[in-house]
Amino acid sequence: MRSARAALASILLLTLAGAAAAAQAPAEAPAAPLPTVDEIIAKNFEAKGGAEKWQAIKSVKMTGKMTAQGADMPLTVYAMRPNFNRQEITMPAGKAIQAFDGTTAWVVNPMLGIDSAQPVPGPAAEVAKNAADFDGALLNYKSKGNTIELVGKERLGEKDTYHLKVTTKTGSVQHYFLDAQNGIELKMSADVDVGRGQKQKMDTEMSDYKPVNGILIPHTVTQTAGGRPVLRWTISTVEFNAVTDDAIFKMPKK
């Protein structure tokens, strides 16, 4: 009986000691509340030079190279308000063009046997339309009919990011990952329709940000599809307001 009482007393002492230690240990600080979607977007544009400064820009011309399957090809990109876009890639077989003229997405690609301008069909046309928005999906998203949800704070490589889920007016979904420290876009993901009812995850990562006339522009853009590398853009020059005529975006008549 005495040994039983001694054992019980030992357990009681250990329990009390544990409770005392727990009482003396500092409590963990509560996690800081997450910022709102609008706060995250405001920080994003502030970090890149300011929304007002960006909205004063009417057009952009970029030159550089596209690397795909181990080959480097000259690249020129034109963009103009509100939603004009044209990409030119000089390939061994000739010049490939992918463009959106505000209404129609069209393409020329000699390597695919498309020697004259052809409309882009189906879901790919919707992707081109969304990508042509000069201001992107975040700026003035409410007036565009987009909704944005903060999914949470997530780790991307060695950086913490805020994961924003963007649903456009037409129902397409894009996922943006913004650096939690400085607000800059690091990655955009979307499930792209590749035909026959199948979709593939397309990731676009932006890096090597450099200031151009006070605006931060990513000079390296890398795309992967289904986790496999597809292409990389390396930008060497950026010119603002160099494009003044929207004629270059129009699909040529046959």
Q: Detail the DSSP E strand segments found in 133-226.
A: 147-156, 159-167, 173-179, 185-195, 198-212, 215-225
Q: Say how many domains are in the chain.
A: 1
Compute the mean pLDDT over every residue in the chain, rounded to the nearest whole number. Answer: 89
> Residue 194: its pLDDT value, please?
74
* Confidence class for position 121, pLDDT limits 50, 70, 90: confident
Report the alpha-carbon distance of residue 19 to residue 250 in Å, rounded.
Answer: 75
Domain annotation covers residue 27: no
Domain annotation covers residue 23: no
Q: Mean of the pLDDT values across residues 28-56?
A: 92
> Residue 10: its pLDDT value, please?
44
Domain annotation covers residue 225: yes
Which of 233 and 12 is assigned the larger pLDDT?
Answer: 233
Domain annotation covers residue 156: yes
* Confidence class for position 3, pLDDT limits 50, 70, 90: very low
Burial of 77 (0-12, 13-18, 19+ CB in 10 A): buried
CA 13 to chain centroid, in Å, comes to 58
Domain annotation covers residue 137: yes
Report the alpha-carbon distance of residue 65 to residue 74 in Å, rounded.
Answer: 4
Q: Mean of the pLDDT values across residues 31-36?
A: 88
> Residue 51: its pLDDT value, please?
96
The string of pLDDT tens digits covering residues 148-181 is 999 999 999 999 999 999 999 989 999 999 999 9
> Residue 15: its pLDDT value, please?
38
Domain annotation covers residue 38: no
Domain with 116 in it:
44-237+244-249
Domain annotation covers residue 11: no
pLDDT greater than 50 at residue 58: yes
Domain annotation covers residue 212: yes
pLDDT greater than 80 at residue 19: no
Q: What CATH number is associated with residue 178?
A: 2.50.20.10
Q: Mean of the pLDDT values across residues 67-74?
A: 95
Question: Number of helices (H) and strands (E), helices first, in the chain?
Answer: 4, 13
User: pTM for this structure?
Assistant: 0.85
- Rounded percentage of the chain residues whose pLDDT exceeds 70: 88
> Residue 108: its pLDDT value, please?
96
The string of pLDDT tens digits covering residues 188-246 is 999 988 777 788 999 999 999 999 999 999 999 999 999 999 999 999 999 999 999 99
